[in-house]
Amino acid sequence: MKTAVLLHPNRIEIQERPVPQPGPDDVLIRVRAVGICGSDTHYFAGRRDHEPQTVYPFVLGHEFSGEVAAVGERVTDIELGTRAVCAPDITCGECEWCKKGETNVCPNVRFAGSGGVTGCLSEYFLVRRSQVHPIPDTLGFAEATLAEPLAIGLHIVDNLVAPKGAETYAVIGVGPIGLCTVFAASRRGAGRIYAADLHANRLEAARKLGAHRTCLVPQDDFVRFVHQQTGGRGVDVAVEAAGELEPMRQLTRLACIHGLAIIEGIPPGGEATIAIDAARRRELTVVFGRRSLRKTDEAIRLIADGDFDPSVMLTHQFPLAETQWAFEYARDYKDGVIKAIVTP
């Protein structure tokens, strides 16, 4: 099978590798579409070389859909040819957090394309049965890959915010995760949603998904913008989804007294500074988001039923042979890219 291998930062090569054979509890997926995530571009650009698990060469990719090509002998409840989205993580099931149902923070997780685990940018990929989520025939493979980022947006709003309705939000960074957060907040009855980004086309996408007002930075100062819009109060929920240092510094200045500040982005070098004075004076709750929890099936339903419009985010598609170009587009925000899809 053909596999896209990251040889070193900014260099991907297509190689031939053996098709993996399923063990008793495994499912072999014929991969049809892979979404490029922001965390993938961080690895591609060398932004996560400080992590000891980052050892080259390795294979990226964790947002994927495809068809069941083979199953292990103990897998009896899924047919060959089943179309599916696959969750990217295998949790241990034994730690205290798994036993409490908090599997998204399992410290022993094996996550595709991260932490030394092979990713799915191949023609075939091996998963456990528990990772397989069937999709309807009416749902395209590219569209189905959005279930993973959408599940994260739903997790941020439903699980971390637990909204009662009419909350106000500020979202810094409306790439795919920020856009899915905007959608989830709008769907849960947000009062007002303010969104900021460096790219005007992403702000247009945010408005389509429910943002009420948008701010193009650095042309405008988002903290000042939000305080002007809210009469100096700030918002109930501020979400950082850019993964950059300056937005993380701004985050706690956006939230109101007794508000909630959520850091979802991954900063370069793994460390960032937040405005502690602003957080302390407002007695904020600061929370870090970690992947998603029990939201994949709901995300699939929202896309399949037309509640979430995938065309707002799906801007570019590349064959596996052009994976290098796909990552360069995503890394450099070329040609208005929001979500690039690779089709093995």
State how far the Cα of 290 lies from the Cα of 151, in Å rounded to an integer.
11
Q: What is the mean pLDDT of residues 297-326?
A: 98
Q: What is the crossing angle of helices 222-229 and 245-254, to 10°?
A: 20
52 and 82 within one domain: yes
Cis bond before residue 319 (omega within 30° of 0):
no
Verify that 49 and 127 share a domain, yes or no: yes
In this prediction, residues 225-236 reach a mean pLDDT of: 98
* pLDDT tens by residue, 165-209: 999 999 999 999 999 999 999 999 999 999 999 999 999 999 999
Are 127 and 189 part of one and the same domain? Answer: no
Range of the domain at 90: 2-146+313-343
Q: What local confidence, expressed as pLDDT, does residue 90 receive?
A: 95
Query: 54 lies in a domain?
Result: yes
- For residues 33 and 132, membership in a common domain is answered with yes
Distance in angstroms (rounded) separating the CA atoms of residues 205 and 211 = 9
Sign of CA dihedral 258, 193, 311, 59: negative
Looking at the structure, do residues 122 and 249 belong to the same domain, yes or no?
Answer: no
Q: Residue 71 falls within a domain, yes or no?
A: yes
Q: Same structural domain for residues 155 and 271?
A: yes
Q: Is residue 44 part of a domain?
A: yes
> pLDDT averaged over the chain?
96
Does residue 294 sit within a domain?
Answer: no
The structure tokens listed for 31 are 């991969």
Tell me whether residue 295 is in a domain: no
Task: Kindly state whether residue 297 falls inside one of the protein's structural domains.
Answer: no
C-alpha 300/C-alpha 143 separation (Å) is: 9
The enclosing domain of 184 has a CATH number of 3.40.50.720
Phi-psi region of 78 (alpha: psi -120 to 50; beta: other; left: phi over 0): beta
Give how many domains the chain has, as a whole number.
2
Please check whether residue 250 is in contact with residue 275, taking contact to mean a CB–CB distance below 8 angstroms. Answer: yes
How many helices (H) and strands (E) would you count in the chain?
11, 17
Residue 107 in tokens: 């410290």
Residues 82 and 40 in one domain: yes
**Predicted pLDDT of residue 270:** 85
Any idea what the CATH number is for the domain that residue 93 is in? 3.90.180.10
* pLDDT value for 115: 86
Claim to verify: residue 215 and residue 335 sit in the same structural domain? no
Q: Does some domain include residue 116? A: yes
Residues 98 and 207 grouped into a single domain: no
> Could you tell me if 121 and 33 lie in one domain?
yes
**What does the pLDDT look like over 273-305, one tens digit per residue?**
999 999 999 999 999 999 999 999 999 999 999
Residues 103 and 155 in one domain: no
